[in-house]
Amino acid sequence: MLRAYQDLPTEWLNTQIIESRKLAVEQFLNSNLYQYGKTKPSPRWLEFGFPLQFDSDILEVLELLAPYITPDEERIQAGLSLVLEKQDQTGRWPCEKHPKGGQWVNKYIKLETIGQPSKWVTLHALRMLKSLLEEKIN
């Protein structure tokens, strides 16, 4: 839902959409984000990869929330710390998972190597951080 709201033209925003967006953001923030609303989340929730398909992770959710929150939002601190800890000395983030654990999406598209720096995970992490530090959307 938040992804769809981000793609809406500004002129389409009305009070109902803005309130719905705020509710969605609050629902994520109040769901124990770092643990995916569970006492013990799946380890895959804390692993970054691309493409995600149906297998989301905390980085994706932080990227969706970033335009609407500030970096000092208490409810994202554990997840934000995890993201920052995974950045290597060259400023990149590793690929930690693939859909269904495979190396290929299909016979034409080879995925990145697990354990190696990922251009796609790095792109998403940097987008999230940039958005988190920019002026916020109302």
Q: Does residue 41 sit within a domain? A: yes
Q: Cα dihedral sign for 34, 39, 44, 47?
A: positive
> How many independent structural domains does the chain possess?
1
Question: What tokens appear for 34 in the block?
Answer: 């770092």
Cα 108 off chain centre by: 26
Give the integer Cα–Cα distance in Å for 112 and 97. Answer: 9
Give the integer Cα–Cα distance in Å for 55 and 88. Answer: 23
Q: Does residue 40 sit within a domain? A: yes
Segment 21-47, tens digit of pLDDT: 999 999 999 988 877 777 777 888 899
Segment 56-107, tens digit of pLDDT: 899 999 999 999 999 999 999 999 999 999 999 999 999 998 876 566 666 6
Q: Give residue 31's domain range.
A: 2-133
**What is the pTM (predicted TM-score) of this model?**
0.86
As a whole number of angstroms, the longest Cα–Cα distance in the chain is 46
